């Protein structure tokens, strides 16, 4: 396989702006008094210039540049104008080195995967193990214990499944016959609607086609007879260029707003035709505390508008609590595993990681080789694990309408495959989240949840035709009359996970069921079992609405997820 090249790419590095010889410093500022229709280049004086801005709910935030000898002096200049508040230094990005050639000579696979009706894409055989259901074996050149159920999820999707749109904020995009790009894009470097920078990359070989690698993992066209299969079934990528080869700032924050429908038309970028369904951020770097206010606000805006934000954990072998944007709230953080489902040695870790996917030897596109349409690269990094999760979410959104971000995150993390005991991902300090992605279980759970058959309360006899007088309930350590027992199922497909707990709430029927609302009662706290039996009465169920909150490592979802209620009792109690 001489035309598949090894690309070892880390996620983009973000560094806080520091003293430089250029004497130009960039900050993100909030305005005390908003001017709602300024030009993007409005000057604030000889030393301060506005670079870009966004207005959310009447509040204006700008990127400004300041001429000064030091960053400290620049900060004093901004504070002295008394026009700004919440001043933060911008973060700087730096892309990794260019791909390094390192061909693999793979033999015949002797794995025990059971994929039928395989795609006809040239290199699907080299993707089979990580795209298919979890299995183990040897693929001709390495032992493996991996798999994410994406192929199986395709089979469980309808033939006319709707199109999902994924916003990818990155750099290194170029047209490619095997990538399904949308007909629209945005460039937050040059402020126009063309994210493709192929000519620049060809003229500057050190500039990575990172955006193509990420995008192809999500939306490579399956069954077109060339290159690879994308993890998404009916998905298109809306690209946004937020880096200029090796340099960038907080442009990824602006792309989040744009993906969510916020207008930048006054700054030269046409409005997006409609918001995307999910956002992928395969970028990040060290920032003490893991987030900055202006980045968190952009993420919160997307989530409030129903758009999940998937973030690569980063490749610095540090705790994600000090990695931006993985250290922000309201994101889905993806770590990387290797062929044996162990934490990849470069992957960041910690309680902030939600789940993992394989991040080693992921096939993806680079720049198109005009002489060989099958030319692809081997990629490594959490940058390349995150797109597998993003594609799984896009697939669910193609099939199931109306899921909130909290519901998606709950269904995603609760259906992951548990790590084997004693492996690196079960380390209490260097943990990898709830488990490894199982896209097929995630899709099944989402479908069941949408019909009320995943998260429910129903009588213990609802599925039985004979009645037992008593039933021993391990959780209660007592014999309970079966007529008093109801099954409470938060997730009928979930495994018990040490880091995930469930708390059951109730409120008088017809009242608002949300955390902090009047009359909402915590009924069962911090239950670790996703499904169990509990003594209730018919009057309990007739009088109240029930819902639950999930917590991962003590961090709880914002919304109460409703439980469906089934009052059916098939068998008759004595």
**Interatomic CA distance for residues 170 and 230, integer angstroms:** 18
- Average pLDDT over all residues of the chain: 85
Paired strand residues for 83? none
Summarised one tens digit per residue, pLDDT across range 298-324 is 999 999 999 999 999 999 999 999 999
DSSP 119-156: ---TTGGGTHHHHSSSEEEE-SSSEEEE---HHHHHHT
CA-based nearest residue to 340, from 193, 505, 130:
130
**Interatomic CA distance for residues 427 and 356, integer angstroms:** 14
Give the pLDDT score at 36: 41
Residue 261 burial by CB count (10 A; 0-12/13-18/19+): exposed, middle or buried?
middle
> Torsion angle of alpha carbons 438, 442, 443, 445, nearest 10°?
140
* Cα 245–chain centre separation: 24
Summarised one tens digit per residue, pLDDT across range 438-464 is 999 999 999 999 988 899 998 887 766
CATH fold for the domain made of 452-566: Immunoglobulin-like (2.60.40)
* Strand ranges across the sheet with 531-535: 531-535, 485-489, 456-459, 564-566
Give the helix, strand, coil percentages of the chain, each rounded to 5.
20, 30, 50
Summarised one tens digit per residue, pLDDT across range 476-488 is 455 566 777 889 9
Homologous superfamily of the 124-448 domain (CATH): Peptidase S8/S53 domain (3.40.50.200)
CA atoms within 13 A on the CB side of 237: 35
Cis peptide before 571 (omega within 30 of 0): no
- Residue 20 to residues 146, 461, 555, Cα–Cα distance (Å): 45, 72, 39
Place of tokens 């014999």: 479
Give the pLDDT score at 107: 42
* Cα 44–chain centre separation: 38
**Interatomic CA distance for residues 209 and 196, integer angstroms:** 10
**Interatomic CA distance for residues 359 and 362, integer angstroms:** 6
**Interatomic CA distance for residues 270 and 274, integer angstroms:** 12
DSSP 283-298: B-EE-TTS--HHHHHH
Provide the residue-wise pLDDT of the chain in tens; the chain has 574 residues.
445 544 434 344 444 444 345 488 888 888 887 554 444 445 555 578 888 888 888 888 888 888 888 888 888 888 887 688 788 888 765 544 444 333 344 444 444 445 557 899 999 999 999 999 999 998 888 899 999 999 999 999 999 999 999 999 999 999 999 999 999 999 999 999 999 999 989 998 878 899 999 999 999 999 999 999 999 999 999 999 998 875 677 789 999 999 999 999 999 999 999 999 999 999 988 888 889 999 999 999 999 999 999 999 999 999 999 999 999 999 999 999 999 999 999 999 999 999 999 999 999 999 988 888 888 999 999 999 999 999 999 999 999 999 999 999 989 999 999 999 999 999 888 999 999 999 999 999 999 999 888 999 988 877 664 545 454 444 445 556 677 788 999 988 888 888 889 999 999 999 999 988 999 999 999 999 999 989 888 888 899 999 999 888 778 887 898 999 887 765 555 5
Conformation bin of residue 381: beta by default, left when phi > 0, alpha when psi is -120 to 50: left
């Amino acid at each position: 396989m001489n035309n598949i090249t090894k690309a070892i790419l880390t996620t983009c590095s973000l560094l806080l702006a520091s003293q430089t010889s250029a004497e130009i410093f960039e900050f993100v500022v909030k305005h005390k008094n908003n001017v709602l229709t300024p030009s993007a280049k409005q000057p604030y004086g000889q030393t301060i210039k506005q670079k870009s801005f966004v207005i959310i709910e009447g509040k204006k935030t700008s990127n400004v540049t300041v001429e000064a000898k030091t960053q400290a002096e620049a900060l004093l200049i901004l504070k002295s104008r008394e026009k700004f508040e919440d001043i933060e230094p911008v973060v700087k990005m730096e892309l990794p080195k260019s791909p390094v050639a390192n061909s693999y000579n793979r033999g015949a696979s002797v794995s025990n995967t059971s994929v039928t009706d395989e795609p006809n894409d040239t290199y699907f055989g080299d993707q089979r193990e990580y795209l298919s259901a979890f299995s183990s074996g040897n693929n001709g050149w390495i032992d493996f214990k991996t798999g994410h159920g994406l192929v199986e999820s395709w089979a469980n999707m309808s033939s006319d499944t709707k199109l999902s749109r994924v916003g990818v904020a990155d750099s290194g995009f170029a047209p490619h016959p095997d990538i399904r790009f949308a007909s629209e894009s945005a460039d937050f470097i040059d402020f126009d609607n063309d994210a493709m920078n192929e000519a620049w990359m060809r003229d500057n070989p050190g500039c990575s086609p990172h955006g193509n690698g990420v995008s192809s993992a999500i939306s490579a066209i399956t069954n077109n007879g060339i290159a690879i299969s994308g993890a998404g079934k009916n998905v298109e990528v809306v690209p946004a260029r937020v880096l200029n080869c090796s340099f960038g700032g907080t442009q990824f924050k602006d792309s989040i707003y744009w993906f969510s429908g916020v207008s930048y038309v006054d700054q030269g970028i046409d409005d997006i035709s409609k918001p995307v369904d999910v956002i992928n951020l395969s970028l990040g770097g060290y920032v003490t505390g893991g987030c900055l206010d202006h980045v968190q606000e952009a993420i919160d805006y997307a989530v409030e508008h129903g758009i999940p934000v998937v973030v690569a954990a980063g490749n610095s072998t540090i705790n994600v609590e000090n990695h931006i944007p993985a250290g922000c709230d309201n994101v889905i953080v993806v770590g990387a595993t290797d062929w044996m489902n162990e934490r990849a040695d470069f992957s960041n870790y910690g309680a902030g990681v939600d789940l993992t996917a394989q991040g080693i030897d992921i096939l993806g596109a680079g720049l198109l080789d005009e002489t060989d349409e099958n030319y692809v690269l081997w990629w490594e990094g959490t940058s390349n694990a995150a797109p597998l999760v993003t594609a799984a979410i896009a697939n669910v959104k193609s099939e199931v309408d109306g899921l909130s971000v909290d519901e998606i995150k709950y269904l995603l993390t609760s259906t992951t495959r548990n790590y084997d005991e004693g492996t690196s991902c079960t380390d209490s300090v260097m943990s990898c989240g709830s488990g490894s992605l199982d896209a097929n279980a995630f899709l099944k759970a989402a479908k069941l949840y949408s019909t009320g058959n995943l998260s429910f309360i129903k009588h213990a006899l609802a599925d039985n035709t004979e009645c037992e007088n008593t039933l021993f309930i391990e959780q209660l350590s007592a014999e309970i009359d079966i007529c008093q027992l109801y099954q409470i199922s938060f997730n009928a497909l979930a495994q018990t996970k040490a880091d995930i707990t469930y708390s059951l709430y109730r409120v008088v029927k017809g009242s608002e069921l949300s955390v902090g609302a009047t009359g909402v009662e915590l009924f069962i706290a911090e239950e670790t079992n996703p499904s169990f039996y509990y003594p209730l009465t018919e009057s309990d169920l007739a009088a109240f609405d029930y819902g639950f909150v999930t917590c991962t490592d003590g961090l709880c979802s914002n919304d109460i997820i409703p439980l469906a209620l089934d009052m059916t009792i098939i068998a008759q109690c004595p």
